[in-house]
Structure 1
Amino acid sequence: MKLLPFAIILFFVATTTYGKTEPLVFTKAHSKTAIEIIETLSNRHYKKQTVDDNFSSRLLDGYFDALDPVKVYFLKQDITQFESGRYSFDDALENGDLSQAFAIYNLFRDRIADRLENNIVVLEGDFSFDFSLEETINLDRDTRTWMANTAEADNYWRKRMKDSLLRLVLSGKESDKARELLRKRYANQLKQLAQQDADDAIQGFINVMAGLYDPHTSYLAPRTLENFNISMSLSLEGIGAVLQLEDEFTKIVRIVPGGPADKQGVLAAEDKIIGVAQDDEAMVDVIGWRLDDVVALIRGKKDSQVRLEIMPGTSEGGDKTTTVVITRDKVKLEEQAAKSEIIELQKDDKKFRAGVITVPAFYMDFEAYRKRDPDFKSTSRDVMKLIIALKKEGVDGIVLDLRNNGGGSLYEATALTDLFIHPGPVVQIRHADQHVSREQRARQRPFYDGPLMVLINRLSASASEIFAGAIQDYGRGLVVGTTSFGKGTVQVLAPLKQGRLKLTESKFYRVSGQSTQHRGVIPDISFPSYFNADEVGESSQDNALPWDSIRAVKHREYEDFSPLLLDLKTQHQQRIESNPDWRFMLDEIALITEQRALKEFTLNKNSRELTKEEREIKWLAIENKRRETRGEAPFESTEAVEAFRKQQKEDEQTPDPILRETVNLLFDYTSASATSLETRVVKKSLFES
Structure 2
Amino acid sequence: MSLFATLSRSVALAVTLVITSPTVLAQLEPTEEQRQAAVEIADSLRYGHYAEVSFDQAWSEEAFERYLDILDGQRAYLLSSDIAPYRHLETDLADTVFEGGLNEAFALYDRLSERHTARLEWLLERLDDDTTFEFDGNERLELEREDAAWADNQSELDALWEKRLKNDALTLALSDQDNEQIVKNLRQRYEGQLSRLRQTESEDVFGLIMAAITGTIDPHTSYLSPRQGESFDIQMSLSLEGIGALLQSDGEYVKVSSLVAGGPAERAGVLEPADRIIAVGQEDGDMVNVIGMRLDNVVDLIRGPKGSVVRLDVVPAQAVDMTRSQIVEITRDTVDLEDQAAQSEVIDVERDGTTHRLGVIEIPTFYVDFDAWQAGDEDYRSTTRDVAKEIKHLKSQNVEGIVLDLRNNGGGALQEANSLIGLFIDRGPTVQVRDAEGRINLYGDSEAGTLYDGPLGVLVNRLSASASEILAGAIQDYGRGLVMGSSTFGKGTVQTLSDLSHGEIKLTRAKFYRISGESTQNRGVEPDIDFPTLLDPERIGESSLDNALKWDTVQDVQYRRYGEPERYLDALLATHDARAEDNPNFRYLERQSSLSQKLREQNTSVSLNREQRERETQAQEAELLSLENQRRRALGLEELDEWTDAREQDPLNDNGNDSGSADNDEDEEMPVDRAHVLEAVEILLDYAQLQSAQRFVNR
Task: Indicate the TM-score class for this superposition, using the shorter chain for normalisation.
Answer: over 0.9
- 2:483 maps to what in 1? 479
**1:644 maps to 2:649:** yes
Give the secondary-structure state (helix, strand or coil) at the position aligned to 2:91: coil
- 1:376 maps to what in 2? 380
- 2:173 maps to what in 1? 169
Please, which runs of 5 or more residues in structure 2 have no aligned partner? 7-22, 660-668
- 2:633 maps to what in 1? 628
- Listed one character per residue, the Cα deviations across residues 71-117 of structure 1 (whole Å, up to 9, x for unaligned) are 21122222333223321212222211112211111111111111111
Q: Distance in 1 between matches of 2:51 and 2:391?
A: 41
- 2:611 maps to what in 1? 606
1:462 is displaced (CA, Å) by: 0.3
Which residue of 623, 646, 654 maps to 2:670?
654
Opposite residue 606 of structure 2, the aligned amino acid is F
Opposite residue 35 of structure 1, the aligned amino acid is V
Q: Distance in 2 between matches of 1:286 and 1:525?
A: 41
Moved more, 350-359 or 613-622: 613-622
User: CA separation of 1:632/1:297 partners in 2, compared to 1, >3 Å: closer, same or farther?
Assistant: closer
Give the secondary-structure state (helix, strand or coil) at the position aligned to 2:596: helix
1:633 is displaced (CA, Å) by: 4.6
Q: Distance in 2 between matches of 1:211 and 1:558?
A: 42
Please, which runs of 5 or more residues in structure 1 have no aligned partner? 1-6, 10-18, 682-689
1:241 is displaced (CA, Å) by: 0.5
Q: Distance in 2 between matches of 1:644 and 1:54?
A: 52
Q: Distance in 2 between matches of 1:508 and 1:151?
A: 52
Q: Distance in 2 between matches of 1:407 and 1:513?
A: 20
Q: Distance in 2 between matches of 1:637 and 1:218?
A: 43
Question: Does structure 2 conserve the Cα–Cα contact (< 8 Å) formed by 1:414 and 1:442?
Answer: no
Which residue of 556, 560, 585 maps to 2:589?
585
**1:521 maps to 2:537:** no
Q: Distance in 1 between matches of 2:437 and 2:658?
A: 53
1:647 is displaced (CA, Å) by: 13
Question: Does structure 2 conserve the Cα–Cα contact (< 8 Å) formed by 1:20 and 1:194?
Answer: no
Question: Does structure 1 conserve the Cα–Cα contact (< 8 Å) formed by 2:417 and 2:471?
Answer: yes
Q: Distance in 1 between matches of 2:524 and 2:536?
A: 14
Give the secondary-structure state (helix, strand or coil) at the position aligned to 2:274: coil
Q: Distance in 1 between matches of 2:145 and 2:542?
A: 20
Q: Distance in 1 between matches of 2:146 and 2:292?
A: 19
Give the secondary-structure state (helix, strand or coil) at the position aligned to 2:524: coil
Question: What pairs with 1:314-393 in structure 2 (closer than 5 Å)?
Answer: 314-393=318-397
- 2:690 maps to what in 1? 672
**1:26 maps to 2:30:** yes
Q: Distance in 2 between matches of 1:635 and 1:251?
A: 27
1:650 is displaced (CA, Å) by: 11
- 2:510 maps to what in 1? 506
1:148 is displaced (CA, Å) by: 2.9
User: CA separation of 1:127/1:631 partners in 2, compared to 1, >3 Å: closer, same or farther?
Assistant: closer
User: CA separation of 1:634/1:534 partners in 2, compared to 1, >3 Å: closer, same or farther?
Assistant: closer
Give the secondary-structure state (helix, strand or coil) at the position aligned to 2:208: helix
1:426 is displaced (CA, Å) by: 0.3
Question: Does structure 2 conserve the Cα–Cα contact (< 8 Å) formed by 1:259 and 1:330?
Answer: yes
Give the secondary-structure state (helix, strand or coil) at the position aligned to 1:319: coil
1:437 is displaced (CA, Å) by: 0.6
Question: What pairs with 1:562-573 in structure 2 (closer than 5 Å)?
Answer: 562-573=566-577
Opposite residue 350 of structure 2, the aligned amino acid is Q
- Listed one character per residue, the Cα deviations across residues 609-645 of structure 1 (whole Å, up to 9, x for unaligned) are 2223333333332222123223445334446645532
Q: Distance in 2 between matches of 1:637 and 1:478?
A: 39
Q: CA RMSD in A?
A: 2.3
Question: Does structure 2 conserve the Cα–Cα contact (< 8 Å) formed by 1:315 and 1:595?
Answer: no
Question: Does structure 1 conserve the Cα–Cα contact (< 8 Å) formed by 2:320 and 2:620?
Answer: no
User: CA separation of 1:641/1:48 partners in 2, compared to 1, >3 Å: closer, same or farther?
Assistant: closer
- 1:295 maps to what in 2? 299
Give the secondary-structure state (helix, strand or coil) at the position aligned to 2:497: strand
Q: Distance in 1 between matches of 2:281 and 2:438?
A: 50
Percent same amino acid among aligned pairs? 42
- Listed one character per residue, the Cα deviations across residues 404-444 of structure 1 (whole Å, up to 9, x for unaligned) are 11000000000110111111100000000101011333423
User: CA separation of 1:587/1:571 partners in 2, compared to 1, >3 Å: closer, same or farther?
Assistant: same
Opposite residue 659 of structure 1, the aligned amino acid is V
Q: Distance in 1 between matches of 2:430 and 2:491?
A: 17
Question: Does structure 2 conserve the Cα–Cα contact (< 8 Å) formed by 1:314 and 1:596?
Answer: no
**1:147 maps to 2:151:** yes
Opposite residue 628 of structure 2, the aligned amino acid is E
Opposite residue 185 of structure 1, the aligned amino acid is R
Q: Distance in 2 between matches of 1:441 and 1:639?
A: 48
Question: Does structure 2 conserve the Cα–Cα contact (< 8 Å) formed by 1:317 and 1:595?
Answer: no
- 1:38 maps to what in 2? 42
Give the secondary-structure state (helix, strand or coil) at the position aligned to 2:163: helix
Opposite residue 301 of structure 2, the aligned amino acid is L
User: CA separation of 1:360/1:558 partners in 2, compared to 1, >3 Å: closer, same or farther?
Assistant: same
Q: Distance in 2 between matches of 1:368 and 1:35?
A: 40
Give the secondary-structure state (helix, strand or coil) at the position aligned to 2:692: coil
**1:69 maps to 2:73:** yes
**1:557 maps to 2:575:** no
Opposite residue 228 of structure 2, the aligned amino acid is T
- 1:405 maps to what in 2? 409
- 2:664 maps to what in 1? none
Question: Does structure 1 conserve the Cα–Cα contact (< 8 Å) formed by 2:529 and 2:573?
Answer: yes
- Listed one character per residue, the Cα deviations across residues 344-388 of structure 1 (whole Å, up to 9, x for unaligned) are 111112222110111111111111112222221111111000001
Moved more, 117-126 or 479-488: 117-126
Q: Distance in 2 between matches of 1:465 and 1:28?
A: 43
Opposite residue 664 of structure 1, the aligned amino acid is E
Q: Distance in 1 between matches of 2:445 and 2:397?
A: 30
1:145 is displaced (CA, Å) by: 2.8
Q: Distance in 1 between matches of 2:376 and 2:451?
A: 23
User: CA separation of 1:381/1:174 partners in 2, compared to 1, >3 Å: closer, same or farther?
Assistant: farther
**1:137 maps to 2:141:** yes
User: CA separation of 1:571/1:650 partners in 2, compared to 1, >3 Å: closer, same or farther?
Assistant: closer
Question: What pairs with 1:252-331 in structure 2 (closer than 5 Å)?
Answer: 252-331=256-335
Moved more, 406-415 or 229-238: 229-238
1:21 is displaced (CA, Å) by: 3.8
- 2:10 maps to what in 1? none
User: CA separation of 1:440/1:495 partners in 2, compared to 1, >3 Å: closer, same or farther?
Assistant: farther
Give the secondary-structure state (helix, strand or coil) at the position aligned to 1:673: helix
Q: Distance in 2 between matches of 1:108 and 1:261?
A: 36
Q: Distance in 2 between matches of 1:370 and 1:21?
A: 54
Give the secondary-structure state (helix, strand or coil) at the position aligned to 1:60: helix
Give the secondary-structure state (helix, strand or coil) at the position aligned to 2:547: coil
Which residue of 214, 217, 225 maps to 2:218?
214
Question: Does structure 2 conserve the Cα–Cα contact (< 8 Å) formed by 1:458 and 1:482?
Answer: yes
- 1:618 maps to what in 2? 623
1:661 is displaced (CA, Å) by: 1.3
Question: Does structure 1 conserve the Cα–Cα contact (< 8 Å) formed by 2:427 and 2:444?
Answer: no
Opposite residue 620 of structure 1, the aligned amino acid is L
Dislocated runs of 4+, deviation >6 Å: 646-653
Give the secondary-structure state (helix, strand or coil) at the position aligned to 1:625: helix
Question: Does structure 2 conserve the Cα–Cα contact (< 8 Å) formed by 1:427 and 1:441?
Answer: no
Opposite residue 600 of structure 2, the aligned amino acid is R
Question: Does structure 2 conserve the Cα–Cα contact (< 8 Å) formed by 1:171 and 1:321?
Answer: no
Q: Distance in 2 between matches of 1:248 and 1:122?
A: 22
User: CA separation of 1:651/1:53 partners in 2, compared to 1, >3 Å: closer, same or farther?
Assistant: closer
Question: Does structure 1 conserve the Cα–Cα contact (< 8 Å) formed by 2:418 and 2:443?
Answer: no
Q: Distance in 2 between matches of 1:583 and 1:229?
A: 44
